[in-house]
Amino acid sequence: MNRLVLVLVFLFSLVSVFCCRASSTISPPDQSIVPVLAAPTQPVVVYPQITLSPTFPLPSLAPLTFPPPTPTPTESSWMCAPGTLDERMPSAGKDRLFRLHIPPGYRSDQPIPLIINLHGTGACAEGQEQYTGMSSLADRESFVVVYPQALGETPAWDLEPGEQNIDIAFIRDLIVLLENRCVIDLTRIYATGMSNGGGMTNRLGCELSDRIAAIGPVAGSYAYFGVCPISRPVPVIAFHGDADESVPYEGTGSPELLNMYLGIYPPINYWAATWALRDGCASRPAVIYQKQGVLGEAWQGCKDGAEVILYTLAGTGHIWPGSSLLPGAPSAIDASELIWAFFEKHAISP
């Protein structure tokens, strides 16, 4: 028992670095970003191709019927100018919070891209900003980044598809608000996120494919992953450690329960292969990166120039690769850098 207590105290000390300051716009620290990084001693694992057999059938890709967007939310008095601000807005009868970062190179006569960056369960917008380093990248590359805040004492995004999902409504309303306030390139709006935020990134790629040009989830929890009413092929880049204990790489639960319950997640390479099928890509991926325990695979030849890329990190747990807040040696790859490089290549055709 004493040993268990010591272990818990040690883990708590690691988590404390991610604590968010107490304010009306900030929630408790993110338990989903506790580093679980094993020593990179094992060789790169080349995963076998997925067999889409009757024992693990492809999910139905039939679209759902959704209600029209909610009305444009009431705008507050803030101005879109370089810097970082914490703001609030009404959506679906709730008071919703977000952190917005505008790069110093922002100009009112030059549309620039927007990245929506979503935190994990128990997290906060400020913590996600610090963990991913996305605001510094935005300053260098000149894009706007917004960090929405989920609801609840333990904030988490609702991953369920359907008209009842007020988080989808919030992101849709937030996009409209930023389009009205800032000069955003409407063909270059993207989404990324960590853990539960990665799952929400996947959900946005499905539900808002007419607005979201590409998605980049990290260590995502892909509940209801087969329910995906896309209106166009959506480019995808994703990252996942094969030693992730929070969202296991091999998936959870029985295949027949996929798309039925929140806690049932698909095998990660099966999830990526399903996106490739959805986007009309080649059935087998090509290896595009293999170094220091990281395997990058790409499904190419997709419709409308889309592509699906999956980076698998051997011996790595539930982390954002390349984060400056992680202890120990740096990762072989930087997820934020790779996500932006991927996003830069993809836009919604006018």
User: Closest Cα partner for 228 from 161, 310, 273, 175?
Assistant: 161
What pLDDT shows up at residue 56?
33
In sequence order, what DSSP letters do the residues of 262-277 get, joined into one string?
TT----HHHHHHHHHH
In the prediction, which pLDDT does 54 show? Answer: 30
Question: What ranges do the domains of the chain cover?
Answer: 16-344
**pLDDT values of the chain reduced to their tens digit, one per residue, 350 residues:** 444 433 333 343 343 334 454 443 333 334 333 333 333 333 333 333 333 333 333 333 333 333 344 444 444 578 899 999 999 999 999 999 999 999 999 999 999 999 999 999 999 999 999 999 999 999 999 999 999 999 999 999 999 998 789 999 999 999 999 999 999 999 999 999 999 999 999 999 999 999 999 999 999 999 999 899 999 999 999 999 999 999 999 999 776 777 777 778 999 999 999 999 999 999 999 999 999 999 999 999 999 999 999 999 999 999 999 999 998 767 899 999 999 999 999 999 97
Q: What is the CATH number of domain 16-344?
A: 3.40.50.1820
What is the pTM (predicted TM-score) of this model? 0.81
Question: How much is the pLDDT for 103?
Answer: 98
The pLDDT of residue 318 is 97
Task: Give the end-to-end CA distance of the chain in Å, rounded to a whole number.
Answer: 62
pLDDT at 76: 57
